[in-house]
Amino acid sequence: MSIQNVRLEVMQFLEKNIDSFVENYLIPVEKIWQPSDLLPDSEKETFLEDVTELRELAKELPYDFWVVLVGDTITEEALPTYESWLMDVEGVNQKTPTGDNGWAKWLRHWTGEENRHGDLLNKYLYLSGRVNMREVEMTTHHLINDGFDPGTDRDPYKNFVFTSFQELATYISHNRVAQLAKKFGDHKLSKICKLIAGDEMRHHHAYSEFVNRIFKVDPSEMMLAFQYMMKKKITMPAHLIRESGESIGTAFEKFSESAQRIGVYTALDYVDILEKLNVKWEIDKITNLTDEAEKARDYLLKLPERMTRIAERMVVPAEEKIFKWVQPALVK
C-alpha cells in the first residue's frame, strides 16, 4: 500500500474519535469567553472613562512591546490563510455524501476559537491610541494576500507536527506578553493575553495528541515526518509579514528581533519546544522503527543540543527598529 493511502487510513482511524477531541480540547460557544467580555462596554455610561483608563495604561508600555503585540495580532488575524491550508490536508473533506467529515468539523470549531484572538487584540489596539491602525490593517491584508506555506504540503503528519509546534510557540509568546503587561501595571491587558495563551495551550495539547496517536499506529512514517519538519525548520505563520510598500517578508526579521530583545520569544524557546515535543511523544522509547526511522530518531534526540550551541551564539541588535505600525513612544 502507498504511503499516501496509509496516511488516509490513519486519518480515518483518528476521525472516529473526533467528537471526543472536540469535547475534550475545545469549549462550547456559550461557555467560552468572548472579546466583549474583556473590553470597555460601549453600552455603559462609563465607556469613555474606561477607554481613557485603557489609554493611560497603554502609555506605560515600551516600544518593542507594542511591536510584538501588533505582530502577534496580525499573525492571529491571518487566520483565513491557516484554515484554508489545513482544509486542503489529505483526509480532510469538506463535502461528503453525508456532509463535512470529522476533520472538517474539528477545523471549523478550532477556527471559531482562534478567530476570537485577532478580534479581541485588534479592538484593544484600536482603543489604545498607540498604533497606526491603517498600517496594521494593510499588513494583515498583505499577509493574507501573500499566502502561507509551512512546507508541509498536504501531508497530515507534517501538518500536525507544525501545528503542535506552533500552538506551543504562540502560547509562549502570548503568555510572556501577559507577564510583561502585568509588570508594567496593565492587568487588564495581561488578562487578555493570558486567556488567549490558555486557548493556545489547549490547542497544542490537541494537535500533539493527534501526533501521539499516529506514532502508535504508524511510528516510522511519523518519525520521518517529524525529522523532515525539524530539518526544514518550523517557519513562523507570519514569516511573510511586510509593511505597506515593502516586499514580502521584509518585516519578519525586525519583528523577531523585537520579540527576542524583550524576551517574548527567543531562539532558545524554539529549542525548548523541540525538547518538549521529544519528551511528550517519548521519541526515545518508540519501537518497531525502520532503519531510516531509527536514524531520524537519533537525529531528533541530538538536535536540541546542537541548536542550543547555535542559539547561544546569536547576537540580537540592541537598537529598536521603528515600524510604520507603531507610533513613537510618548514623551512624559
- Of residues 9, 33, 137, 320, which has the active-site annotation? 33
- Of residues 64, 72, 90, 114, which has the active-site annotation? 114
Torsion of CA 46, 52, 54, 57, to 10 degrees: -140
Is residue 209 a known part of a binding site? no
- 246 catalytic? Reply is no
Q: Which three cell numbers stand for residue 62?
A: 515600551
- 45 catalytic? Reply is no
- 117 catalytic? Reply is yes
- Of residues 90, 199, 209, 243, which has the active-site annotation? 199
Q: Which residues have CB under 8 Å from 156's CB, separation 6+? A: 7, 10, 11, 89, 90, 91, 92
- 33 catalytic? Reply is yes
- Of residues 76, 243, 257, 269, which has the active-site annotation? 76
The DSSP code for 61 is: S
- Of residues 106, 170, 221, 266, which has the active-site annotation? 170
Torsion of CA 115, 228, 208, 287, to 10 degrees: 170
- Of residues 90, 155, 186, 200, which has the active-site annotation? 200
Cross-strand partners of 131:
326
- 170 catalytic? Reply is yes
- 43 catalytic? Reply is no
- 187 catalytic? Reply is no
Q: Which residues have CB under 8 Å from 48's CB, separation 6+? A: none
Report long-range pairs for 184-191 (Cβ below 8 Å, ≥24 apart): 184/60, 184/61, 184/62, 184/65, 185/57, 185/60, 186/57, 186/58, 186/60, 186/61, 188/38, 188/54, 188/57, 189/57, 189/58, 189/61, 189/124, 191/38
Cα-based angle 69, 70, 74 (whole degrees, multiple of 5) = 120
Is residue 114 a known part of a binding site? yes
Q: Which three cell numbers stand for residue 309?
A: 550551541
Is residue 243 a known part of a binding site? no
**Residue list, annotated binding site:** 76, 114, 117, 167, 200, 203
Q: Which residues are catalytic?
A: 33, 76, 114, 117, 167, 170, 199-200, 203
**Residue list, annotated binding site for Fe cation:** 76, 114, 117, 167, 200, 203
